[in-house]
A = this chain, B = another copy of it.
């Protein structure tokens, strides 16, 4: 499906409108969370196996900070070795010198680094029970608003990313409850998107919750509480806090961020000219999901920018896999890469790819060869 206001930032015309998000006062806020929904077999490969899934969010955060993980020995990867998109995020932040702030909004494992705690519970398996209590949903939203408000006093642009394994399924659930037809439209880190399984999980979870399509269109918090995950209210709250200060937000992610937008619209927050969605070309070009089909139901005018990182030309097989339908996006990869191109003068696709390949070499292939900068 097509969408009215989507632009590839690699073409000159694509930059149109994006300039207003450029600022030397930018920060990346990375919200990590956990939903036990991710333990449903076949739903996610974010993490080499089911036991490791819960380590993926903190390990992503650690990798971006340290170029290595501390909670686990390896870098988060798919079972066959495709690395976490956090490697793109790390490269983008290194190049642009944009700081990162990790927010724990219900991660089961806490990262070994300083992180902003929101005191959130972890998310439960929505097949069995509500994801998170209604009051806790409201509380996460309030915590998010405080974070957004404080962070945007100095900063002009807040780039928001997330790491929640299984998060596209909860996004699907919340969008259905809000009246956005999202079946077969949310993305996957696998080339073979398990859309049927996701649809079935959500149908069952909606039946269990006694929620029908669109039932929560005026009560987003109920949708999140019953079918979502703890990241959602926090990230929506941060966005509100930033926008109410008159500052700007880049939602860095794929179809999960469409869900955040749907939540914000349901809350009647005026997003006009304050927000954009930034993602990778791998999400935009994906034939097994439909970000444009989602956006057409949410807003007809909110800008989406996507970036072609040229990973098909990478010297690393694990990175070339991104152009073959693996991983695609996550951990704020697309949005932070766009911010890097926006804020770093003379940055080209070749320079970015070269740095990315080098990060792959020094942190994944041969981490023992270099001394790791622990800052």
Interface residues of A (CB under 8 A from B): 24-27, 65, 97-101, 103-104, 110, 112-119, 142-143, 145-147, 149-151, 153-155, 241, 374-375
Contacts and interface: CB of A to CB of B under 8 A. Distances in A.
A143 B99 contact: no
Contact of A151 (B99, B103, B112): B99
Contact of A375 (B98, B115, B145): B145
A142 to B, nearest CB: 7
A98 B119 CA distance: 24
Given A99-B151, A101-B150, A146-B375, 10 more contacts: A25-B25, A25-B154, A97-B153, A98-B153, A99-B150, A99-B154, A110-B117, A114-B117, A114-B118, A115-B116
Contact of A147 (B97, B114, B119): B114
20 contacts: A25-B25, A99-B150, A99-B153, A99-B154, A100-B150, A101-B150, A104-B117, A112-B119, A113-B143, A114-B118, A114-B143, A114-B146, A114-B147, A115-B117, A116-B117, A117-B117, A145-B375, A146-B375, A154-B154, A154-B155
A241 B375 CA distance: 8
Contacts of A241: 375
A235 to B, nearest CB: 13
A9 B137 CA distance: 46
B99 A103 contact: no
Nearest to A24: B154
A116 B119 contact: no
Contact of A149 (B146, B153, B375): B375
Contact of A146 (B27, B65, B150, B154): B65
Contact of A110 (B24, B114, B119): B119
Nearest to A139: B112
Q: Which of A26, A118, A375 has the most CB of B within 10 A?
A: A375
Contacts of A118: 114
A57 to B, nearest CB: 15
Nearest to A27: B154
Q: Which of A24, A142, A154 has the most CB of B within 10 A?
A: A154
A142 B97 contact: no
A115 B116 CA distance: 5
A375 B145 CA distance: 7
Contacts of A114: 103, 116-118, 143, 146-147
A86 to B, nearest CB: 16
A160 to B, nearest CB: 14
Contacts of A146: 65, 113-114, 375
A115 B117 CA distance: 5
A115 B99 CA distance: 17
Q: Which of A99, A149, A241 has the most CB of B within 10 A?
A: A99
A150 B151 CA distance: 13
Contacts of A100: 150
Contacts of A374: 142
**What 6 pairs across the A-B complex have the smallest Cβ distances?**
A99-B153, A99-B150, A117-B117, A149-B375, A114-B143, A114-B147
Contacts of A150: 99-101
A116 B116 CA distance: 4
A21 to B, nearest CB: 15
A147 B99 CA distance: 10
A57 B114 CA distance: 19
